[in-house]
Amino acid sequence: MQGDGASNRFEVPGWVKKGVPILVSALILYYYFSDQDWAELKQATDQVNYVVAVLAVLIPQLVFWFFEVLLVERHFTWYHKPFDWKAYVWARGALYLLMMINPTLGGGGIVLYLQQKTRISWSRLMGMALFRFGLTFWAFGLVMIPATLAMHHYGVTEKVNLNLWIWWGVLIAGALWLVTAWLKWHHGIEIGFDRYLVRNADSEFWTAFRLATRPQWLFTGIMGIAPVFIYVIGFWVLAMAFDIHVPFLEYIVVAPLALLISDMPVAFAGFGTTTMAWFFFFGDYGDKHIIAGFTLFLPFARVAARALIGVVSLPLSIDDIGQLMREAKRRRTKKERISNIEY
């Protein structure tokens, strides 16, 4: 009976998963471009320095790729065991081909590759992911708090399309998390939420938190946030190439939110969501035709950059990925045989 129930479980068809993001992108683009004068858009973007524009997208993408590989290699060496980072360079690059179509599936492919490659337990792997995300969030807050204070000081907050009460709540929550986590794992003092969250500090899930030294905490935060800001600054240079001049102080605070909206997995490769984010946050800093052209160029250039990395990496990673797939298939077959024998 259980088998029948499992077989009748509803699953979303693959064509729906692929079609919905495309439909969402199409609807958003239709909303913003339905009355667009394409001749004026072309005329407005004719003066763009496309060499600078391409480099402003490609270079941050290459930096992000390098930082990702370096941080993952360090974390596995510190909290599990060393693994072949040279193979991961090309596997990570090849997975950009999947990420440019579906970021959610691409991210899942990366996690699955690392788990299969290192045979790490899922519990320890998820704990390492939380460690990295938490410290990246902490580093982000350390940069954003003084930047936001500077915005208040110079009166820039009046122009920002952002709820600063919610914004300050997020930043303060990140700072408090750092204090409580630091006290817990480096001084054995449990206050705040950690006393309820960490039920068993010796479990595999908390391995990274338990083993990480203080310099490793700092290294993780810096290496986690640095490529994000390089990415963001690259888009600022790209915007200037399109003659969109956003005040840097306002931009550096708001741009990560715009990037977060642009990368929401509800749309296809950032098309539509990028337009929505930039018109919402920065629509007053450039001609509407220029901004419209910018928001079409940006996701297209990101897709092209990731495709270039993926095409270069795929031939160099195909043997490694293929071997992992064959090993996983052999393990599944062995488990099925053992289950049949026991049955």
Q: Mind listing the pLDDT tens digit for each residue in 3-27?
A: 444 445 556 666 666 777 788 888 8
> Pick the residue with more confidence: 164 or 226?
226
- Specify if 22 maps to a domain: no
Q: Where are the alpha helices (DSSP H) in 154-188?
A: 164-187
How distant is the alpha carbon of residue 251 from its chain centre? Answer: 19
Closest CA relative to residue 45, chosen from 326, 292, 331: 292
Q: Which domain holds residue 314?
A: 56-333
159 assigned to some structural domain? yes
12 lies in some domain: no
Does 213 reside within a domain?
A: yes
The angle formed by the CA atoms of residues 177, 180 and 185, to the nearest 5 degrees, is 115
* Alpha-carbon gap, residue 74 to 212, rounded angstroms: 11
pTM: 0.80
Q: How many domains does the chain have?
A: 1
**Per-residue confidence at 342, pLDDT binned at 50, 70, 90?**
low
Q: Report yes or no on 88 lying in a domain.
A: yes
194-251 per-position pLDDT tens digit: 777 888 888 999 999 999 999 999 999 999 888 888 988 999 999 999 989 998 888 9
Any domain includes 28: no
State the first-to-last Cα distance of the chain, in angstroms, to the nearest integer: 16
Flag whether 114 is in a domain.
yes
Residue 26, domain member (yes or no): no
